[in-house]
Each structure stands twice: as structure tokens, then as C-alpha cells.
Structure 1
């Protein structure tokens, strides 16, 4: 059974990641980790490191703030968060914030499966010139 302490330690470790310490992913993730989000699917620790390295190299800044972290069952937890990032070619370089939830499954005190749930439009598409205007218009019409 995972403990609240393990969940909080994972959240703290994840929040402290940056382009200079991605070797710490091995402290948090199982070597055969499966990572999935609305835009990517990655298998294995080396692939996750490459994904994160590419992500951090394209951003001016990035941080994650966790608001709630709770166990679901013996091996799964839900982590509610807000991602803050700046990309030089998105949103005019302004900071973008996107709320989301991560489902994480633990094995041997490390995360072996990580699935992120968030609005990909709010993360990316709405901030692309021209395309963003169309998406915002569609959202307004649907609500």
C-alpha cells in the first residue's frame, strides 16, 4: 500500500525537476515506466528522460504546483496540479497556466505508470497564432 508520505515525496520530487537535474527521474520512476498525456505516449525511463529534456529545452520557464495529492487504492494516487510555463512562440511569451490531474501507479516505491489529464487546447493550441483564435471562437460558441 502506498502511503501519503510516498505520494507527497513523489510530488515534491517532480515539482523540483528542471533541465539541470533530469537524472533525478530515476529516483521517481520505475525503469519500465509508461507515461501518457493527451499529446504523447512514452515507454521506458530513457524515453521519459529524452521527452523531458526536449520539453525543458523549448521552454523559457516551467513549474508545477500541486494542490492536492491523495491515494486511490493500494498502488494508485491522484495528484491535482497547475502547470505554469512560458514558451517564446506561444501566448506572446507570456506565462500560461493549465490545471490538470495526474494518475500515478506505484511499484517498489517508484511510479511505473503516469497518466496526465488536462485540456490540450488550453496547454497548446489556444496559444498558437491564428489557430488559437479559431479554437477560442469555437469554445465560446459551444458554451
Structure 2
């Protein structure tokens, strides 16, 4: 499975909005994608999530920092770098997370589950919501 994981890592690290459809070859037809905001099946629904990133973000890119491969499973840790189109325009942002991937016998993704803390990694970066989230965090820690 190492060659399949190498191809997956390369595809995500070089992903750009104009070439989202190239990811289709990496996913099994009824693949499931789940993250803190989505739980979908099938390539059209998965592609819609990646396309939405292009609508909301600029200069987005993944940097895979670690990988663990065990049989047909893989766990990737990553940094997702981006800027918002509407909020804090131009300010670079970074979300840290991980992806659990389960591959079929052909090396295609059947399960793609992303783990990241939406409250800490995203909400705190938004102008109004972020102020409230940081205040709540300080109150909870005092």
C-alpha cells in the first residue's frame, strides 16, 4: 500500500482548485468522507466539499507532516494553510489535523475521516466568533 499512500500524499500536497477532479481516481465509488462538518458518501459529494474550499478560501494547501501505514490503513498528520476570502483577508491561517484513511485492495480510499478541533482551529480565527470563543476558553480555564 505504500505506493498508493505516496500517490495520495502527493495528490493532496499538490492539490489546486482547477484539478480537484484528479482526486476522483484516489477514491472508491462509494467512499465515505467525514470531518467535523460533513459526513458524505460518493465522489460527487466528496468533490463538493473540496470545491467549497475554493469558494471560501485562498492560497489553500496541505502539508503532510507524518504518515503511518499499517496494511490497508493509513494515518496522516497535516497542516492546512490558507487565508479566508471574506474574514481577515490575506492573513495566513493554519489548521493542524489528521486523516484516517482506509484503502481497498486496489489502493483507493474507502474511508477518509479527518480529525481536527473546529473550535480551536477554526472558530477562534473568525473575527466575532473568535473573540467569543477565546473569552469562553479563558473563563473555562480560570
Task: Please name the residue that 1:98 is paired with.
Answer: 95
RMSD: 1.5
1:15 corresponding residue in structure 2: 13
Count of residues in Structure 1 that have an aligned counterpart in Structure 2: 140
**Which string of whole-angstrom CA distances, capped at 9 and with x for unpartnered residues, describes residues 58-86 of structure 1?**
21220000111111x32111001000111
The alignment partner of 1:38 has SS state of: coil
Alignment partners' CA distance in 2, 1:31 and 1:25: 12
More moved, 59-68 vs 6-15? 6-15
Normalised to the residue count of structure 1, the TM-score between the two structures is 0.89
TM-score scaled by structure 2? 0.90
Query: For the residues of structure 2 that align with 1:113 and 1:47, how far apart are their CA atoms?
Result: 13
Q: How far apart are the structure 2 equivalents of 1:120 and 1:93?
A: 21
Distance apart, 1:54 and its partner CA: 1.8
**How many angstroms does 1:92 deviate by?**
4.5
Q: Structure 2 regions of 5+ residues with no counterpart?
A: none
Asked if 1 retains the 8 angstrom alpha-carbon contact of 2:17 and 2:54, the reply is: yes
| CA offsets 1:30-50 (integer angstroms, 9 cap, x no match) | 111100001111210011112
